[in-house]
Amino acid sequence: MVEGAATEALDPGEDLSRLEAVTKILAREELCDPAELGSLIEAATATGPTEPGKDFVAEKFPHPEEARAAFAYRRYESSIEGLIQNAARHPEAFALLYDAELASLAHYLERVDPKSLLITEDLGKKDRGGKPRKVLDYGTRWAVTYTAERVGTLLGHRLANARHGEIADLGAFDREVRRHLKGEYRTAPELVRTRPVMGDIARRPAAAKLSGDVFDGRERLLGVLDAWIESRAVPERTAAQLRNLVADGYLQALRSL
């Protein structure tokens, strides 16, 4: 049912009457030549390893021009927030969204090389020693923050729906959600270079059984992050920055509802 709805949402229609809606979902206003688009999609979703130095459009992860769904970004379409809130009233849909966000974080992190996490700040600022200041890579910074915000928003909708009577029995709702959740997600132990299609990210298998308070989204996010930090020997200072991004993004979103 979810796949069918997604396919329908991305169909511009034979008369292109839904073209504007589709471009909003894809977060891209201009359409390119179909052959060029096909080459981009083929490169961005290829399952083989990338080859550094080759003229390969998806060599960098994530590629700046990679097609992506924009359901999580309020600035593209405010009504999407209402759609998520309505879906979050139903235990199975809630569990699907929750699983997808945690799976997405694991998918992202396992493709990030810790050596590339720190970059030279491009504003010309220097540290106390007079050297160019190193900061956390912007792409990783926003990817982690956005995921934390989305999980915080989802858990916030759970509380708001219960508060407004949309969820009649929160205990029963939680038990149903837990029954549908797959488990805990973890990254692969080594750097991953394959690029599977992201449309079915919710199908990613869990790595372990559920544990602890599954409705503490911050702890579940940190579970994915900390396991990756440990397996990749991420420096403590950088690890602390990433943990702060998770905590700040999650709590701000949770408290905004």
Render pLDDT for 37-88 as a digit per residue (tens, 0 to 9): 666 566 555 555 444 444 444 444 555 444 444 444 454 455 677 788 888 9
Contact (Cβ atoms closer than 8 angstroms) between residue 133 and residue 125: yes
User: What pLDDT is recorded for position 26?
Assistant: 63
Given this model, what pLDDT does residue 120 score?
Answer: 78
Which pLDDT score, from 0 to 100, does residue 197 have?
A: 67
Tokens encoding 130: 């007079």
Domain presence at residue 14: no
36, part of any domain: no
> Does residue 21 lie within any of the structural domains?
no
pTM of the predicted protein model: 0.71
> What is the spatial distance between Cα 176 and Cα 191, in angstroms, rounded to a whole number?
35
The verdict on residue 228 lying in a domain is yes
Helices 91-109 and 79-87, axial angle in degrees (round to 10) = 110
The low-confidence residues of the chain, meaning pLDDT below 70, are: 1-10, 12, 15-16, 22-79, 122-130, 197-199
Say if 127 falls within a structural domain: yes
> CA-to-CA distance for 229 and 235, rounded, in angstroms?
8
Count of the separate structural domains present in the chain: 1
Supply the range of the domain harboring residue 235: 70-255
Asked if residue 35 belongs to a domain, the reply is no
Nearest to residue 41, comparing CAs of 32, 29, 54?
32
Report yes or no on 81 lying in a domain.
yes
Q: pLDDT per residue over 66-77, tens digit each?
A: 444 444 445 445
pLDDT value, residue 222: 98
Contact of 157 with 83, CB cutoff 8 Å? no
Q: Is residue 2 part of a domain?
A: no
Q: What angle do CA 194, 199, 102 make, to 5 degrees?
A: 80
Nearest to 198 by CA among 36, 31, 67, 93: 67
Q: What is the pLDDT of residue 70?
A: 46
Residues in the chain: 257
Q: Which residue has the tokens 């080759």?
A: 54
